[in-house]
Amino acid sequence: MIPTMMNTHKAFKALQQAGVADHQAEVMVDIFAEMQQENSLTKTHLSQAMEGVMRANHATAQRVDKLAQSLRHFENEVRHTFKAIELRFDNLDEQFRKIDQRFEKVDEQFRLIDQRFEKVDAQFREIDKRFEKVDERLLDLDHRMQLGFNELKRDNLWHRRLMMAMASAFVLSAAKYIFAG
């Protein structure tokens, strides 16, 4: 009870120093003292509370033990799983090494094929050059034929004109012969 009185006196002094009126400080201290007395715990309450805390602590310790055991079991499973995965990865690495060797062989074959294609390309370039020469000759021949065809057309036109002139001359001479006679 003495510690409560000392706390009450200290609270009253602190309220006075804070500028609270004496009467208001007394009322506030009384209210807080009553609240503290109503909420104070007895030894029985404390021992009951302590028993509850001990039971909860024991239950928590059991849960922690179970969780630790589950965690160890989980770690063992994970360790075994990872070992199995490592073995699978080792097998995959070996298979990839074999595949890499196969690809190297295929690459070598493709290099040989590329060399053959380069030779064929060179031959095609030679053939293209020959075709270009033939095209030049054909163009030259076409040009000469065009010139010859134009000359033939001109000659044909002159022949027709000449034939018309001769036909006209024959018609005139025949008319002269027919009418003169």
- pLDDT 10s digits, 10-64: 776 777 777 777 777 777 777 777 766 665 555 666 577 667 667 777 788 898 8
- pLDDT 10s digits, 63-90: 888 999 999 999 999 999 999 999 999 9
8-state DSSP, 20: -
- Residue 11 is predicted with a pLDDT of 76
pTM > 0.75: yes or no: no
SS3 content of the chain, % helix, strand, coil (to 5): 95, 0, 5
The overall average pLDDT reported for the chain is: 84
E-strand stretches of 11-165: none
- Residue 172 is predicted with a pLDDT of 87
Higher pLDDT, 12 or 125: 125
The SS3 call for residue 169 is helix
